[in-house]
C-alpha cells in the first residue's frame, strides 16, 4: 500500500474523493501514517443508491458465482498477507504475529462462507391440509449497513462482509475512522476478485456522521454493528425509523475462572493470554480473573512475574508481544481506569503506568497491569476498560465463582479451568455468556457462532447462525389441488 496516497471511498465501483481528509496515526510513535478521505450523509445516500441498483443482479445471482468470488477474495487476502498484516500493525499497533493471524482468519472467513452458501438450507413442512405443501426458503435481505470497530480492522471487515455477500446482500460498509487502511486495501482486492460494482461500498468517516447516517437510513434494510455498548444503543435508536433489522456485537467484562486443581503454570499462562493478547483490546478479553482462594497468593506472584516479562514493543519489532494502544484518547481512558482502581482501593501488583522511555516516548504504550483484591462494586470490575488491565477477584466455593462471574451487565464470553470435568461443565453451563471455553481461552473459529448475552449484544456472527442473520425467512405454500376455495357462497 502506498501510504503517501490519500485513501478513497469506494462507491458503486468508483474510487471517490471528498472535501475532507483525516490523518491516520501510527500509535507506536504518534506519526501521521497516511490520510483518508472522510465521507458524510451524502456519500451514504449515494452508496445506498448504488447498492440497491447492484442488488437487482447480485441478489438473484447463482450461489456458485458468488462462492467463486468469495474464494478468489480469500486467495488474494492470502497472497497479500504480509502487506495486509503490516497495514494493520502500523495502523492499530498490534504485534505483527497478531496481524498475521487476523489476516489468515479473514481469508478463512471468506472461504468458509463461500463454501457454506450452497449447502442445504430451509425446511419443508407436513401441514394438516394434505393438498397443501409448505416450505421455507431463505432470501437475502437487501442493503445491509455494516459498521466496524478498530481492534481487529481487517478481521471485523471480513466477519461482516463475507456472510453478507455470500447470502446475496449488498453492503454499505464503514470501518472505524481510526483504522480504515486495511479496509481500503480489502476493497482493492474486491475489485481484483471481480466483485461487481456497487455490491460492496466503502464509506469512511466519523461515527457520529457516517455511522449515524447508516443506522438511520430508511432504505437500509439491516444494520450490523460491532463496537461499544453505548454506541450500540444509538444504533438501535437510529434503526427504529424504518424498523430495520439489527445485529449488535458489543462490549464485555468476561470472567476467567481458575480452580486450584488446575496446573498453576498452565493457568497463569492462559490467564495472561486471556487479558493481554492484542493489548487487552479484545471484546471477549478475560478481564476479570476469578481465582480460588487456596492458590490465590502463589498464583498472583507468578502471574505478576510473567506479566512483567511480556515484551511490549513497536508491533513491527521482532518478538513484540504487546504493542501500543490504538490512540492517545483511548490510552488516556485506560490510564484513567488505572487511577480509578487505585482510588477505589484495588491492590496494584504489576504495571500501572504509561511507558515513555527512549523509543516509547511518543507512542501510546501502557504496561501490562494487574489489580488484586478487587471488590464487586469497583468500577474496574464492572466497566469495560478495553486495555491491558486485569481485575482479580477471590472465591472460595464453586457457587461463589459462578455468582461473581455473572455479576455483570455483560455476557459476551467466559472461561473455566479445572481438571474436574464435571465441575468445569457445571460452571460453564451456569455462566451467562455466548462464547465460552473449558481449559482454554480465546480460540475462535469461523464455524462457530460469536456473540453475547445481556448487554453484549443481539444476534450472532460466524457459523451458520451468522449466515442466518443475513437472510429473510420466507414461507411458500403451494395448493396441489386446483379449484375454488369455496368459502363464500
As measured in angstroms, the least distance from the Cβ of 147 to ligand NAD is 5
Residue 140 or 252 with smaller CB distance to ligand NAD: 252
User: Catalytic one among 109, 256, 283, 350?
Assistant: 283
223 lies in the site for ligand NAD, by CB under 6 A: no
Structural contact between residues 451 and 249, judged by C-beta atoms closer than 8 angstroms: yes
Question: What separation, in Å, do the N-terminal and C-terminal C-alpha atoms of the chain show?
Answer: 74
As measured in angstroms, the least distance from the Cβ of 231 to ligand NAD is 3
Question: In the β-sheet with 222-226, what is the strand arrangement from edge to edge?
Answer: 14-16, 9-11, 200-202, 170-174, 143-147, 222-226, 245-249, 457-458
User: Binding ligand NAD by CB under 6 A: which of 270, 276, 386, 395?
Assistant: 386
251 lies in the site for ligand NAD, by CB under 6 A: yes
User: Binding ligand NAD by CB under 6 A: which of 174, 244, 288, 460?
Assistant: 174
Span from 25-33, 230-238, 343-351, 422-430 in contact with ligand NAD (CB under 6 A): 230-238
As measured in angstroms, the least distance from the Cβ of 156 to ligand NAD is 6
Residue 294 to residue 455: CA distance in whole angstroms: 33
User: Binding ligand NAD by CB under 6 A: which of 105, 249, 321, 367?
Assistant: 249
User: Binding ligand NAD by CB under 6 A: which of 160, 185, 234, 288?
Assistant: 234
User: Catalytic one among 50, 249, 384, 461?
Assistant: 249
- 3-class secondary-structure state, position 109: helix
As measured in angstroms, the least distance from the Cβ of 213 to ligand NAD is 8
Residue 221 or 384 with smaller CB distance to ligand NAD: 384
Site for ligand NAD in 417-456 (CB under 6 A): 450, 452
Which has the closest alpha carbon to 434: 254, 281, 279?
254
Site for ligand NAD in 130-149 (CB under 6 A): 147-149
Residue 339 to residue 352: CA distance in whole angstroms: 9
Angle at 281 between CA 279 and CA 287, to 5 degrees: 90
Site for ligand NAD in 320-359 (CB under 6 A): none
Residue 158 to residue 164: CA distance in whole angstroms: 10
Which has the closest alpha carbon to 29: 449, 355, 465?
355
**Is 265 known to be catalytic?**
no
Span from 9-17, 223-231, 292-300, 331-339 in contact with ligand NAD (CB under 6 A): 223-231
279 lies in the site for ligand NAD, by CB under 6 A: no
DSSP string, 339-390: HHHHHTT-EEEE--SB--SGGGTTS--B--EEEES--TTSHHHHS---SSEE
Sign of CA dihedral 299, 301, 307, 310: negative
**Is 283 known to be catalytic?**
yes
250 lies in the site for ligand NAD, by CB under 6 A: yes
Phi and psi at residue 371, in whole multiples of 5°? -110, 125
User: Binding ligand NAD by CB under 6 A: which of 39, 140, 163, 207?
Assistant: 207
384 lies in the site for ligand NAD, by CB under 6 A: yes
231 lies in the site for ligand NAD, by CB under 6 A: yes
Span from 30-38, 39-47, 210-218, 471-479 in contact with ligand NAD (CB under 6 A): 210-218
Span from 137-145, 174-182, 289-297, 355-363 in contact with ligand NAD (CB under 6 A): 174-182
State the number of binding residues for ligand NAD (CB under 6 A).
30
As measured in angstroms, the least distance from the Cβ of 330 to ligand NAD is 7
In the DSSP assignment, the letter for residue 450 is B
Residue 92 or 398 with smaller CB distance to ligand NAD: 92
As measured in angstroms, the least distance from the Cβ of 56 to ligand NAD is 27
Span from 124-132, 209-217, 349-357, 393-401 in contact with ligand NAD (CB under 6 A): 209-217
Long-range contacts of 210-213 (CB under 8 A, 24+ apart): 210/38, 210/39, 210/40, 210/41, 210/43, 210/44, 210/174, 211/147, 211/174, 211/235, 212/238, 213/40, 213/41, 213/44, 213/45
Site for ligand NAD in 457-476 (CB under 6 A): 457
Residue 169 or 215 with smaller CB distance to ligand NAD: 215
475 Cβ partners below 8 Å, 6+ apart? Answer: 134, 135, 136
Residue 264 to residue 296: CA distance in whole angstroms: 10
- Which helix (H) or strand (E) segment holds residue 10: the answer is strand 9-11
Residue 239 or 341 with smaller CB distance to ligand NAD: 239
Q: How far is CA 414 from CA 105, 253, 379, 381, in A?
A: 21, 9, 19, 14
Residue 438 to residue 258: CA distance in whole angstroms: 10
List residues with catalytic annotation: 249, 283
Residues that bind ligand NAD (CB under 6 A): 147-151, 174, 176-177, 207-208, 211-212, 215, 226-228, 231, 234-235, 249-252, 283, 384, 386, 412, 450, 452, 457
Amino acid at each position: 500500500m502506498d501510504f503517501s496516497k490519500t485513501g478513497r471511498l469506494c462507491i458503486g465501483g468508483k474510487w471517490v474523493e471528498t472535501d475532507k481528509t483525516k490523518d491516520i496515526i501510527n500509535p507506536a510513535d504518534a506519526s501521521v501514517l497516511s490520510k483518508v478521505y472522510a465521507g458524510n450523509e451524502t456519500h451514504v445516500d449515494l452508496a445506498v443508491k448504488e447498492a440497491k441498483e447492484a442488488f437487482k443482479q447480485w441478489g438473484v445471482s447463482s450461489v456458485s458465482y458468488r462462492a467463486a468470488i468469495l474464494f478468489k477474495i480469500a486467495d488474494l487476502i492470502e497472497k497479500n498477507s504480509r502487506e495486509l498484516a503490516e497495514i494493520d500493525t502500523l495502523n492499530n499497533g498490534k504485534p505483527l504475529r497478531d496481524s498475521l493471524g487476523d489476516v489468515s482468519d479473514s481469508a478463512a472467513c471468506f472461504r468458509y462462507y463461500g463454501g457454506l452458501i450452497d449447502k442445504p438450507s430451509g425446511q419443508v413442512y407436513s401441514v394438516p391440509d394434505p393438498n397443501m405443501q409448505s416450505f421455507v426458503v431463505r432470501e437475502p435481505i437487501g442493503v445491509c449497513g455494516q459498521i466496524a470497530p478498530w481492534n481487529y480492522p481487517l478481521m471485523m471487515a471480513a466477519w461482516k462482509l463475507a456472510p453478507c455477500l455470500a447470502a446475496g446482500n449488498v453492503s454499505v460498509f464503514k470501518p472505524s475512522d481510526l483504522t480504515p487502511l486495511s479496509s481500503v486495501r480489502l476493497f482493492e482486492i474486491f475489485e481484483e476478485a471481480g466483485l461487481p460494482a456497487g455490491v460492496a461500498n466503502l464509506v469512511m468517516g466519523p461515527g457520529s456522521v457516517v455511522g449515524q447516517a447508516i443506522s438511520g437510513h430508511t432504505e437500509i434494510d439491516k444494520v450490523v454493528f460491532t463496537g461499544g455498548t453505548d454506541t450500540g444503543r444509538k444504533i438501535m435508536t437510529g434503526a427504529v425509523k424504518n424498523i430495520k433489522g439489527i445485529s449488535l456485537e458489543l462490549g464485555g467484562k468476561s470472567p476467567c475462572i481458575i480452580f486450584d486443581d488446575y496446573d498453576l503454570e498452565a493457568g497463569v499462562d492462559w490467564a495472561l493470554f486471556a487479558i493481554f493478547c492484542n493489548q487487552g483490546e479484545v471484546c471477549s478479553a478475560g478481564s476479570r480473573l476469578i481465582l480460588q482462594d487456596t492458590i490465590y497468593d502463589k498464583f498472583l506472584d507468578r502471574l505478576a512475574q510473567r506479566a512483567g516479562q511480556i515484551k511490549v514493543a513497536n508491533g513491527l519489532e521482532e518478538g513484540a508481544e504487546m504493542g501500543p494502544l490504538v490512540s492517545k484518547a483511548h490510552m488516556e481512558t485506560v490510564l484513567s481506569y488505572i487511577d480509578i482502581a487505585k482510588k477505589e482501593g484495588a491492590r496494584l501488583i504489576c504495571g500501572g503506568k504509561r511507558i515513555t522511555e527512549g523509543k516509547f516516548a511518543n507512542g501510546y504504550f501502557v504496561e501490562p497491569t494487574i489489580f488484586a483484591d478487587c471488590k464487586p462494586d469497583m468500577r474496574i470490575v464492572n466497566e469495560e476498560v478495553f486495555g491491558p488491565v486485569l481485575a482479580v477477584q477471590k472465591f472460595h466455593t464453586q457457587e461463589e465463582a459462578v455468582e461473581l462471574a455473572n455479576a455483570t451487565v455483560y455476557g459476551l464470553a467466559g472461561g473455566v479451568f479445572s481438571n474436574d470435568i464435571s465441575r468445569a461443565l457445571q460452571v460453564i453451563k451456569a455462566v451467562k455468556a455466548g462464547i465460552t471455553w473449558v481449559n482454554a481461552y480465546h480460540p475462535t473459529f469461523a464455524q462457530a457462532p460469536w456473540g453475547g448475552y445481556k448487554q453484549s449484544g443481539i444476534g450472532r456472527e460466524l457459523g451458520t447462525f451468522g449466515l442466518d442473520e443475513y437472510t429473510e425467512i420466507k414461507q411458500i405454500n403451494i395448493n396441489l389441488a386446483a379449484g375454488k376455495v369455496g368459502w363464500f357462497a
